[in-house]
Amino acid sequence: MHDAHSLWTFLDQAVEHYAAADRAGILGEAQAEFQRRTGDYEPGQPWYEERIRLFHDWFLLDRLLPEGRVPLFELDRPGGRTLRLLDRIGGAVFEVPMEAGLAGLAACELLDARLLSPGGTLVLARGLLVHPRPAHDMILEVVRRGRSAAGGAPWDLLDILARMKAAWDRSENPRVAAIYGPGSYLFREFTRALAGTAEEEGAGEAP
């Protein structure tokens, strides 16, 4: 693929291929797994388009053709022709061209997105999950605590953050600490899973 437009056309065609009646079971099974990992959604909800784009990227780029992990980006410098993105999970820094669909993003915005490189130019995939601005500081705090608990980059926290965003979208009166905070049930679920993995690895190493 030599440009982003050709890539988007190819990905749209790939989704249509798997949505055909004789292959719909593959797409349905994948979507059930994605919702289990990141939170439920259905047509008609205000956040449906955001979620279905994210699912299509995950299905094609992670499940079928793995392209690496999805960073949690912080928008560091909007404006002009480029965006500067800070990877708050892995620690890298990237610059990508400004596109029309990104114009509404503000400095310090946090979003889950995939980086692709059609023709050697970095671009953001279309599936963007933008976290609420009031949760910015709390999200960075749970990432910090997640890094400490995991002993490194807490990549598995990204699915938890997506479920936090789903809980935020569904709530009529969302509270940052209750949904995104270190004391939230979703973050506790993450740390319990880490503890369980550590126990299993310890048991496997025991004589």
Answer for the pair 118, 6: CB distance below 8 angstroms, yes or no: yes
Task: Give the pLDDT of residue 103.
Answer: 66
- Relative to beta strand 129-130, strand 110-112 is antiparallel
Domain count, the chain: 3
**Could you tell me which residue, 149 or 65, shows the higher pLDDT?**
149
Task: Give the pLDDT of residue 144.
Answer: 95
Same-domain check for residues 44 and 78: no
Answer for the pair 123, 82: CB distance below 8 angstroms, yes or no: no
Residues 143 and 140: their CA atoms lie apart, in Å, by 5
Query: What's the domain range around 80?
Result: 72-130
Answer for the pair 153, 90: CB distance below 8 angstroms, yes or no: yes
Burial of 82 (0-12, 13-18, 19+ CB in 10 A): middle
Same-domain check for residues 44 and 108: no
At 24, which amino acid appears? A
Average of per-residue pLDDT values in the chain = 83
Same-domain check for residues 157 and 102: no
pTM: 0.74
Domain end residue (candidates: 19, 43, 64):
64
Same-domain check for residues 119 and 139: no
Same-domain check for residues 201 and 149: yes
Domain end residue (candidates: 64, 95, 111):
64
